[in-house]
Amino acid sequence: MLEIKNLNFGYGKQQLFKQLSLSVQPGQIVGLLGLNGAGKTSLLKLIAGALYPQGGEITLYGRSTGHRHPDVLADIYFVPEDPWGPALTPEAWLDRFGVFRPAMNRSLFYSLLEEFQVDKGKLISRMSYGQRKKCALAQAMASGSRLILLDEPTNGLDIPSKAQFRRSLSMLDLQETIIVISTHQARDLETVLDPILIIHEGALLCKFPAAVVREQFSVRRVETLEGLPVVYAEQGALGYQALLADPGAGADLEMLFTAAIHNPEAFRKALEKQGENIPQEKL
């Protein structure tokens, strides 16, 4: 279980997180959404232990990640948005760095490379951005780590690769694993993310299961907003594209995110009204 308690962190005078608390259960693929500069990458680095919190505590299965103890580090795999490309082939990488991870699954690594169509004999440093990213994703997924942190994993991937990535998630044993995915490409991943976390202005704005998106909201094109349970609306030439707190055809994660950022109070109320009572201490 991943637990963040009263996290404080900032750069210089700019405070990024103020008393941020959240917990994630094993078996979940968490979608971490937020505006540019909201601190998604910093949060992932804090969880991984690459940054030190200025207050509060981050624990993975009861052990602090900030101490960088080798066995805790081996239980976490962080893939940055632009992964490092060493002058090594994926095979050589496995021999050099895979040895530090006792749960590394070599056959899964090769299967994933095949799935992603990455040449295992080519130097990672000479691969394209997308290929390098796919190689890093294969490394993470085969690492056997119980916490995998992915920063914008679908950025730079072509359309078939995005599908390959979604498929590859099913190759993992998710019973004991927590995957946290920070993304702006909500549409690429909305079928796999559950639950969704939105961070805004240094705090957790809301946390809701993916079913909420599909079952409790709907998007409709309407001419007038009067009398409708509108959470958020965008005016166009032909009327409004409205997000309604009304079970129907289902909503779009990107629209839900925009609604949450645009009017957090209205969004929270809509969530609560729909039966998804978000406890105050988790907000």
Partner 1 sequence: MKLETYQQPYSVKRLYFLVRNRLLDDVSPILIVAAAFLALNLLFLLSAHQYSPGTVGGWALIIAVGGIFLAGNGFAKMHDGKAGTEWLLLPASTLEKYTAALVMYLIVYPVFAALLAFLESLICSGIGYLMHKSSLWIFNPFTAIIWENYLNYAFFVVLALAGSARFRKFALGKTAAIMVSFMLLASLLLVLGALLLDSEGRQILYNGIKGHSVEIQRPLTVSTESSLKILGNLFLAGTGLFALVYGYALVREKEARDEVQ
Token output for 79: 């893939």
What residue spans of the chain are helical by DSSP H? Answer: 40-48, 70-73, 90-97, 106-115, 129-142, 159-169, 186-189, 210-215, 253-262, 264-273
83: contact with partner 1 by CB under 8 A? yes
The alpha carbon torsion through 29, 211, 162, 205 (nearest 10 deg) reads -60
d(CA 208, CA 132): 32
207: contact with partner 1 by CB under 8 A? no
Nearer to partner 1, 48 or 230 (CB): 48
Q: Do residues 137 and 90 lie in contact, with contact meaning Cβ atoms separated by under 8 Å? A: no
Nearer to partner 1, 37 or 248 (CB): 37
Helix (H) or strand (E) holding 22: strand 14-24
61: contact with partner 1 by CB under 8 A? no
- The residues in 96-115 that bind partner 1, with binding defined as CB under 8 A, are 96-97, 99-102
Beta carbon of residue 124, minimum distance to partner 1 (angstroms, whole number): 11
Nearer to partner 1, 180 or 219 (CB): 180
Beta carbon of residue 52, minimum distance to partner 1 (angstroms, whole number): 6
DSSP 169-185: HTTS--SS-EEEEE-S-
Nearer to partner 1, 77 or 217 (CB): 77
Beta carbon of residue 69, minimum distance to partner 1 (angstroms, whole number): 7
d(CA 250, CA 174): 26
Q: Tell me the window of 79-87, 106-114, 165-173, 208-216 that interacts with partner 1 (CB under 8 A).
A: 79-87
283: contact with partner 1 by CB under 8 A? no
Among 10, 26, 55, 80, binds partner 1 (CB under 8 A): 80
Length of the chain: 283
SS3 76: strand
Q: Distances from the Cα of 133 to the Cαs of 13, 82, 88, in angstroms? A: 33, 7, 15
Among 1, 23, 27, 52, binds partner 1 (CB under 8 A): 52
129: contact with partner 1 by CB under 8 A? no
45: contact with partner 1 by CB under 8 A? yes
**Binding-site ranges for partner 1 (CB under 8 A):** 11, 36-37, 39-42, 45, 48-52, 68-71, 73-74, 76, 78, 80, 82-86, 96-97, 99-102
